[in-house]
Amino acid sequence: MSNHQMLNNEQHKNLKVHTKRCADLGDNVMLTPTFPHEFYDIQAYYPVVFHKDKTTEKFQSYALLGLEKNENLFLTNNDWDCGYLPQTIKAQPFLIGFQNQEIDGEIQKKTVIHLDAGSPRINTEQGENIFTEFGQNTPFIERIAEILAEIDKGFSENQDFFNELNKYNLLEKFVFDIELIDKSQNRLSGFYTINEDSLNNLSAQDIAHLSQKGYLKPIYMALASMLNMGELIKRKNQLLKTE
């Protein structure tokens, strides 16, 4: 159960955060949100896929970590077996929150750190300290604050990125049929990827526009990232071999 609280150095003074990676601490997830500014790092290891929320009709990009629900194929022997940890994973169990503050007589929205107090990562015995014994921020929580700022920036830029992709018809649904080592047939569906034909047919003017907005690189990164599907299948087969 999540229980979000605004982080403060009195209430949370003695808390520690488990930073090891394992299913018991909530890392057994099939996907995690990612953002255009992170695609370069993500595409080295994970497929980047897009998903449309049925309620809001809004798109979000995700790093794909497994091929079925609650499966993270990068978790091996209680460790995350990969050279790059997505920002949204690294930030847990912290979230960005907002608080209205009066500054010079005006109400302004200020970003604050929230803590999911219901997370299995939170304890008083093991892990990284959030505050020093004098109630000051530790380097650990300062780093988390930087990551949360990046995530917040990612969420705010997202809408514009997908507006541009839709404008140029650069999103297409994909279905991925997979036969595993045990001869089982599996299908990954419900996601979108970059439409390569539309991308190849863009005019020089359109490409210049996307490049100027800083979106051309993430588009190509997302496209290249799909080569990692093979790596996911390899990991899944490895898992089936050892079962």
Q: Which amino acid is at 144?
A: I
- Judge whether 201 and 230 are in contact, CB under 8 Å: no
Answer whether residue 99 shows pLDDT above 80: no
The pTM of this model reads: 0.91
**Residue 80's pLDDT band (cuts 50, 70, 90):** very high
Domain boundaries, the chain: 4-242
pLDDT digits (tens, 9 = 90+) for 133-160: 989 999 999 999 999 999 999 999 999 9
Prior bond of 93 cis (ω within 30°): yes
Percent of the chain, pLDDT > 90? 73
